Amino acid sequence: MKEKIRVIQYLGSKVNILDAIEKEIKKITPEHGTVVDLFSGTGVVSSYLADSYRVIANDVQEYSSLITGVLIKNSRSLIGYDDLINSEAYKNNKDELCKYFKDILEYEQQVIENNDTELLAKLCECNVFYNGENISDTSRDELKKIFGESINMFTDESIEKFKNDRDIYALFTLYYSNSYFSVEQCIEIDSIRKAIDMIETNSTENSVTKKILMVCLLHAVSEIVSSVGKNFAQPIKVVDGSGKIKTFAINRCMRDRKLKIEDPFKEMLEILNRRRKIYSDSNKAYTLDSFEAIEITEIKAADTFYLDPPYTIDHYSRFYHVLETLVKYDYPILEEKKYNGKIYLMNGRYRNDRFQSNYCIPSKGKMEFEKLIETISSTGANIIMSYSDSDDNQDTRKRVVSKVELMELLKKNYPNVKMRNISHRYRKLSSKNSNRKELDDGELLFICHY
């Protein structure tokens, strides 16, 4: 049984069907040939294939190419978790943030120690983040009793200062505390992020080490986040429309707030460091839009493309923006919405420049697929394409391109096209009644070759 490394919980992850994908790829790819994973996501497919093939991965999101790049290379970290948190960079950063955010930190510690769900709900709903634009004038005095002077840190000026000086890393504490994470968790994330950045890049081993440690941090952050499904579409909502605390959600949030970065971080580091596979030195991971990627000479020369693009109107950048920001660490401008004539920062705290994929836009999606398949077929490469069918009975999202349309496009460009159903069955609570029912996930593979 080959090892499957799941760094982040991901929508549409193929972690459960890797054997079936590999089996089909083997049938149409020469031994030791080159496979391109054009939409690599969590890198699970790339890393699974990397011990049999040369793998070139690509994804438009930076967190994805960072993760995949580590998974498909022979790499170990020279530095452990304890070295990081004993570093001057970590300690100084943490000390400074603990001073700036002293009042709210002490308040939060009390709330968590006392399991005070009512006060935790109040913190989750307080709207103190980023540049403070969402803090209402009427609540400012009340909130000052909780946040003390640190309430004045949430301004455009301090964001600019932290962004330009870069001596103290404070992005997560300013942007995401009291929502996806606690203040304490954010201070920890910022300080580890700083310690990783401060590792000197004076050798290949050190550059690789930094990347591995970043992958461990991405993993830890996506394990401790307080949200439904462990993504970043929005923080867990602990209060309903009438202001009543939702028992299940607040207990879940309390549990998540107690999680430590250390445990998942160390766990992932151990998994990555104990790998003993030998991968091709020419494996590579790009961060490009799919159309830019297929212009690259080594990609054009590949034997087989594995394609797993998004098929619904949901942009991945909306679900994983916090991971992208953790990698970029660029203090982005956050997205706003207009409501009753007033402008508000959005609850999900999305970056306003997040990538909008044409594959997810109903008016453009079909043309995008057409162009993609045409371009790849013109290189002479074969294609294995994943598709999961939508089904109204299973509450799945409607697809931008249907199975029939896709089959037509593929048949126009390839002499041999087959469709295989590789669904596995699972049990889910039905939304129509409260019974668990057997469902299948409608996973399909299109196999196209010359």
Q: Which residues bind ligand SAM (CB under 6 A)?
A: 10, 12-14, 39, 41-42, 44-45, 59-61, 64, 289-290, 308-310, 316, 357, 359
Give the separation between CA 350 and CA 322, rounded to whole angstroms.
8
At 428, give phi and psi (nearest 5°).
Answer: -140, 150
CB atoms within 10 A of CB 342: 8
Alpha-carbon distances, residue 236 vs 108, 262, 372 (angstroms): 17, 22, 37
In this structure, are strands 342-345 and 284-286 parallel, antiparallel, or unpaired?
Answer: unpaired
CB of 8 to ligand SAM, least distance (A): 8
Q: Compute the least distance from the CB of residue 60 to ligand SAM, in Å.
A: 4
Least gap, CB of 171 to ligand SAM (angstroms): 21
Nearer to ligand SAM, 131 or 388 (CB): 388
Cβ neighbours of residue 433 closer than 8 Å, sequence gap 6 or more: none
Tell me the C-alpha to C-alpha distance, in Å, between residue 390 and each of 50, 307, 362. Answer: 30, 18, 15
Q: Phi and psi of 58, rounded to 5°? A: -155, 145
Taking CA atoms, 125 is separated from 121, 177, 181, 235, in Å, by: 6, 11, 13, 11
Least distance in Å: CB of 369 to ligand SAM? Answer: 11
Nearer to ligand SAM, 194 or 219 (CB): 219
Shortest spacing between CB 10 and ligand SAM, in angstroms: 5
Contacts of 73-76 spanning 24+ positions with Cβ under 8 A: 73/208, 73/279, 73/283, 74/277, 74/278, 74/279, 74/281, 75/208, 75/211, 75/212, 75/272, 76/208, 76/209, 76/212, 76/272, 76/273
Q: Report which of 388, 387, 390, 392 is spatially closest to residue 430, judged by C-alpha positions.
A: 392
Nearer to ligand SAM, 210 or 318 (CB): 318
Q: Which residue lies nearer to ligand SAM by CB, 43 or 132?
A: 43
Smallest distance from ligand SAM to CB 339, Å:
29
Nearest distance from C-beta of residue 42 to ligand SAM, angstroms: 4
Which of residues 221 and 345 has its CB atom nearest to ligand SAM in the complex? Answer: 221
CB of 300 to ligand SAM, least distance (A): 16
Give 286-332 as a DSSP string: E-S-HHHHTTSHHHHT-SEEEE----SS--HHHHSHHHHHHHH---P
Which DSSP string do the residues of 8-39 spell out, in sequence order? S--TT--GGGHHHHHHHHHHHS-TT-EEEETT
| Cβ closest to ligand SAM, residue 59 vs residue 184 | 59
Name which of 39 and 81 has its Cβ closer to ligand SAM. 39
Q: What is the CA radius of gyration of the chain?
A: 23
Q: Closer to ligand SAM at the Cβ: 59 or 108?
A: 59
448 three-class SS: strand
Q: Which one, of 339, 353, 323, 331, lies nearest residue 129 by Cα?
A: 331
Q: Which is nearer to ligand SAM, 235 or 309 (CB)?
A: 309
Task: Find the shortest distance in angstroms from Cβ 372 to ligand SAM.
Answer: 9
> C-beta of 385: minimal distance to ligand SAM in Å?
11
Using CB atoms, what's the residue nearest to ligand SAM?
Answer: 41
Pairing of strands 54-58, 284-286: parallel
**Residue 118: alpha-carbon gap to chain centroid:** 30
Nearer to ligand SAM, 179 or 290 (CB): 290
